[in-house]
Amino acid sequence: MKHGVAALNAPLIGIAGGRSRIETPALLLDAEAFHANVDTLAVMAAANGLGVRPHAKSHKCSNIARVQLAAGAVGIACAKPGELLALFDAGIVSLMLTAPVASARKIERLAQAAARGAKLTVVVDRADLIAAYGAAAREAGSTIAVLIDCDTGLGRTGVTIPDAAVALARAIVDEEGLTYAGIQAYAGQVQHVFDYEERRVANRVANNRLRAMIDALNAAGFPPEIVSGGGTGSHALDFEDKILTEVQAGSYVFMDEAYRPVERERAGGEIFRFALFVAVTVTAHSANGEAITDGGTKSFAVDGPPPRAFIDGVEIGTIVWAGDEFGRLKTYEGFAPPPAGTRLECTVPHCDPTSNLHDVIHLMRGDSLEAIWRIEGRGLSD
C-alpha cells in the first residue's frame, strides 16, 4: 500500500521499540495473546472430541485463518460470499458460508470457486435455494456440500420444524451437484447471556430444538455428519453437551468489550485474552483540557461498551466519541490528560465490525512490529 498507516509503519517491522512509534489509528494484534487464544480453543475442542470451524467474520484475514487451520481447525466459516471469496483468493481452501443467499450471480461465483478447488460448504433454508446451488454446481462442473440451516431460537434464518429439515435433506440428496453434509444451528441468542448458569439453560433450550431436528433426520435416513454451530459465548457448554460436532467460535481469537462481562466458564475468570487493540494518538486538547485522539467512529465499531485506554499497559481511562475521526479520553481519577503525541492502546467495543474498518492488522510481539497483515475481506459485506 502506498498510503495510510501500513505504508508509514512498514519500515518499523523488526525494529526494537517499534510499537511505541506506530503511526495511528492502527489496528494492533498482540501475537502472544492471539496464539494463546487459538491454542486454548483448539486444546479444549480436542479434549472433548469436537472440531473447531472458526468464524472469519471476526477477522476476515487469511493469515489469521492459516494460524487457526495450523492449530487443527476443520475449516473456516464466513458470513458473506465476498468475504469467503476473498479468503479463497488468498489461499484458504476449506470454507463454509454460514448464511443463505438470494443472488444467482453470487451462487454462480461460489460454484466457480468450488470448481477451482475450494472445498465449499453452504447452508440452505428453502427448496429453491437448493435448486439454484445444484444448477450452478452442474454448470461449473463442481460439487458443493450443503448443510440445512435450522433456527433454534435466534429468529433469523433456518427451518424450525423437523419435518421441514427432512424435506430439505431429501431435496439435497436428489439434486445432482450437491452433497448432503448435515445441519447448522447457530444459537446467537445465547452468546451474550452474562451469567453462566442462565446461559446454560438458554443453550439447553436451543439444543433441545436442535436434537429434535437431528432425531427426525436420523429417523428418515439422513443422519447429519456435520452438526455445526455455537460461538464464543457458548463454546464451553457445547463442548460439554456434545450435540454439535464442531463449534463456529469467532470473537475468541481477539476478544472485545462486548464479551468481557460474559462469564465464559463456571468458575468465572478469563479463558481468552484481549489480543486486539486500536492504537491512537493524542493530537490536541479541548477547551476544558480533555485529551482528543485521532481515532473516532471510523476506527472503532461503536456497538458495544466504550474502549478502555492504556499507556504502557496501565489503564488510564475510557474513550468516548467526539466525531468520525476523533475520540475524547475520559481519564480516571488520579490520571492527568496525557500530552499531545502520547500513544494509547485501546480495547475494542465489538471486534467483528472494528476489524472491518481497517485495511491491515499490525502483528506485535513485545515492543516490536513483527508483520503487517492484510485484512482481505475488509469491507466485503456482500
> What confidence category does residue 264 fall into, taking pLDDT thresholds of 50, 70 and 90?
low
How confident is the model over 111-152, as pLDDT tens digits?
999 999 999 999 999 999 999 999 999 999 999 999 999 999
Q: Kindly report the length of the chain.
A: 382
Please name every residue paired with 27 in a beta bridge, in sequence order, or none if there are none: 278
3-state secondary structure of 83: helix
* Three cell numbers, residue 325: 475521526
Contact 118, 95 (CB under 8 A): yes
What gap in Å lies between CA 177 and CA 236, rounded to an integer? 36
Give whole-number Cα distances, 119 to 81, 85, 113, 122, in Å: 14, 12, 9, 10
Say which amino acid occupies 270. Answer: E
* Three cell numbers, residue 313: 499497559
How confident is the model over 238-258, as pLDDT tens digits?
999 999 999 999 999 999 999
* Three cell numbers, residue 244: 454439535
What mean pLDDT is predicted for residues 371-380?
95
Pairing of strands 76-78, 360-365: unpaired
How confident is the model over 305-362, as pLDDT tens digits?
999 999 999 999 999 999 999 999 999 999 999 999 999 999 999 999 999 999 999 9
Domains and CATH numbers, the chain: 4-29+271-374 (2.40.37.20), 34-253 (3.20.20.10)
Backbone angles phi, psi at 116, to 5 degrees: -90, 5
Q: DSSP character for 339?
A: P
Q: What local confidence, expressed as pLDDT, does residue 192 receive?
A: 87
What gap in Å lies between CA 158 and CA 123, rounded to an integer? 9
Query: Which H or E element spans position 330?
Result: strand 327-331
Name, in order, each residue with C-beta under 8 angstroms of 4's C-beta and a sequence gap of 6 or more.
359
What gap in Å lies between CA 189 and CA 59, rounded to an integer? 21
Mean pLDDT in the chain?
95
What gap in Å lies between CA 183 and CA 201, rounded to an integer? 22
Q: What local confidence, expressed as pLDDT, does residue 271 receive?
A: 87
Backbone angles phi, psi at 75, to 5 degrees: 165, -175
* Three cell numbers, residue 217: 433426520
3-state secondary structure of 1: coil
> What confidence category does residue 26 fall into, taking pLDDT thresholds of 50, 70 and 90?
very high
Kindly state the percentage of the chain with pLDDT values over 90.
Answer: 90
Backbone angles phi, psi at 357, to 5 degrees: -90, -5
Q: Is the pLDDT of residue 267 over 60?
A: no
pTM score, two decimals? 0.95
User: Which residue in 375, 363, 376, 294 sits closest to 328, CA to CA?
Assistant: 294
Q: What local confidence, expressed as pLDDT, does residue 269 receive?
A: 62
Give whole-number Cα distances, 243 to 185, 224, 299, in Å: 11, 11, 39
Pairing of strands 76-78, 94-97: parallel
